[in-house]
Amino acid sequence: MEARGQWGSRSSFVLAAIGSAIGLGNIWRFPYICANNGGGAFLVAFLVALITAGIPILIMELSTGHKFQKAASGSLGSISKKYEWLGWAIVGIGFVITTYYAAVMSWSFKYLWDAFTLAWGENTKDFFFNDTLGISSGPFDFGGMKTPLIIGLVLTWVSIVACIWKGPETVGKVVYATVAIPWIILVVLVIRGVTLEGAHAGLNYYLTPDFSKLMNPKVWLAAYTQVFFSLSIGFSIMFAYGSYLPRKTHMVSDAYIVAISDSLTAIMGGFAVFGALGYLSGQTGTPVTELNTAGPGLAFVVYPTIINELPMLNKLFGVLFFFMLLTLGIDSAFSLVEGVTSAVKDKFGWSHRRTNLTVAVFGFFCGFLFISGAGLYWLDIIDYFMNFFGLAIACLIECYVIGWVYSTVKLKEHINSLPGMKIGGIWEIMIKLVAPIILVVLLGWEIIARINAPYENYPRLAEGLGALVMFVLIPLAGFMFAKAKSKNE
Ligand code: PHE
């Protein structure tokens, strides 16, 4: 077996964790989830979710990986063999998310190419839905696959595999570039976004909380799961990254650094998007709340609009923006893959390369669904099930297995034996009580809502397939992997 890799330095780890956390989730997912869930009200819920669940769970995952020196499945399996399958189910959710995450990156590759000529023209909406995706009439009308997206998907997977080819040592180096470059570009775009004519209408919507919206449990579930998605928790990855840390490490302060940089980036990205939405609303005379851009296509419609409106160097900024999106996405994408591969390696003792290639090839083919004409619909449906149910359930399971079965007291002892910041009883209360109770209530609510009406009015059958993946296929795969013979047996 190969030796378990280790980070070259503290900064490599912090940057890799930030790189994983900051990704398309901040610039692509956060804005549309926020726009669909009450704008300013969502921001309030997001911050509450960060404090009551996001940060405590991040600390829990990193330290559990560190303690057991294993990814999610191995860590939960070490606590009790009976829970190993749940760990694998968590790995499965990560895998499914990777497949559509890669599809969004393939759109970004295509847009990077288009940016050289500003090929999207004035009607950025039509360009995205029709020219780029070739969107079909509904989830069961698959249409064809556009060649540029296939090329994009190939490029995405090749870059992912290249970045993790040598494990944490390469990752530690790549992330210096993939964290710094996007940030600089983002700052410029935010400044332009908020200075567009009419931006204030969008910004008002973004920053003024309508507290009545907070009465809707859906907004809260959206906020909790966005925090999980964005911090990369409820996957296997933070366990794996924690397991690569040296014995003595500043776990708690590093977790704070990661969480704060990630949230600030999302909130900042929101300024650019909502500024531009305000501008669009002024141009079209449609109120911000009624702009029909909500959904996973939002960023790909809105950012090209901002780029068109720049006073000069539009092409340059277009290229920079999509390059930024790719550099933002790549370190998240490879960390997603890493979460899966580290679990497989721990269990079966496969070589690093063999594991990466197998996962990549399999992931690549699964991605075809998301770049077909019906891709956007499926992306929306699967993303909904993976996040609203998958991540919420994953975090719930972790709080139970680690918090109750293993015990927060023991984990706290481990964490507090490390140098730097310590944690106290509040952390234990969040893990054992606050986060799980909130998640159970929100999940229950969402299940009832789904029984009453399908998600976003998709056909029941499409929704059923999403539910099938989440509630049948993933747990089943979890069982099979847990039962499979490990390298030590
Ligand atoms: N946090 C990443 C983002 O915001 C997505 C991600 C989730 C990456 C889970 C890795 C693991 O884009």
| Span 271-318, pLDDT tens digits | 988 888 888 888 878 787 776 556 777 778 888 887 887 777 889 888
CB-based contact 1:165 (threshold 8 Å): no
Q: What is the DSSP string of 93-155?
A: HHHHHHHHHHHHHHHHHHHHHHHTTTTT-S-HHHIIIIIIS---SSTT------HHHHHHHHH
CB-based contact 474:390 (threshold 8 Å): yes
Architecture of domain 10-483: Up-down Bundle (1.20)
**Tens-place pLDDT, residues 102-148:** 999 999 999 999 999 999 998 888 899 999 999 988 899 888 899 99
**Tens-place pLDDT, residues 180-190:** 888 888 888 88
CA of 334 to the centre of ligand 1 (A): 10
Distance CA 173, CA 419 (A): 25
Distance CA 409, CA 331 (A): 33
Per cent of the chain over pLDDT 90 is 44
Which residues does 389 contact at the CB level (< 8 Å), separation at least 6? 443, 446, 470, 471
CA of 230 to the centre of ligand 1 (A): 5
Task: Say yes or no to pLDDT of 2 above 50.
Answer: no
Task: Say yes or no to pLDDT of 436 above 90.
Answer: yes
Residue 292 is given by DSSP the state T
Mean pLDDT of the chain: 88
In ligand 1, which atom is closest to the CA atom of 234? 9
Distance CA 406, CA 232 (A): 22
CA of 303 to the centre of ligand 1 (A): 21
Tell me which residue has its CA closest to atom 7 in ligand 1. Answer: 232
Domain regions of the chain by residue span: 10-483
CA of 225 to the centre of ligand 1 (A): 12
- What kind and span of H or E run contains 416? helix 408-416
Task: Say yes or no to pLDDT of 1 above 50.
Answer: no
CA of 336 to the centre of ligand 1 (A): 7
CA distances from 391 to 100, 160, 204, 369, 384 (A): 15, 23, 30, 22, 10
Query: Which of 90, 230, 324, 327 has most ligand 1 atoms within 8 Å of CB, for mutation?
Result: 230
Question: Ligand 1: residues within 6 Å at CB?
Answer: 20-21, 23-26, 229-230, 232, 235, 237, 332, 335-336
Q: Give the CA-trace dihedral at 273, 276, 278, 280, to 10 degrees.
A: -130
Distance CA 202, CA 253 (A): 35
CA of 66 to the centre of ligand 1 (A): 20
Distance CA 331, CA 86 (A): 26
- Number of residues assigned to the chain: 489
Exposure of 378 in the CB half-sphere (CA atoms within 13 A): 27
Lowest-pLDDT range of 67-71, 95-99, 156-160, 401-405: 67-71
Distance CA 472, CA 404 (A): 26
CB-based contact 297:370 (threshold 8 Å): no
Distance CA 418, CA 140 (A): 53
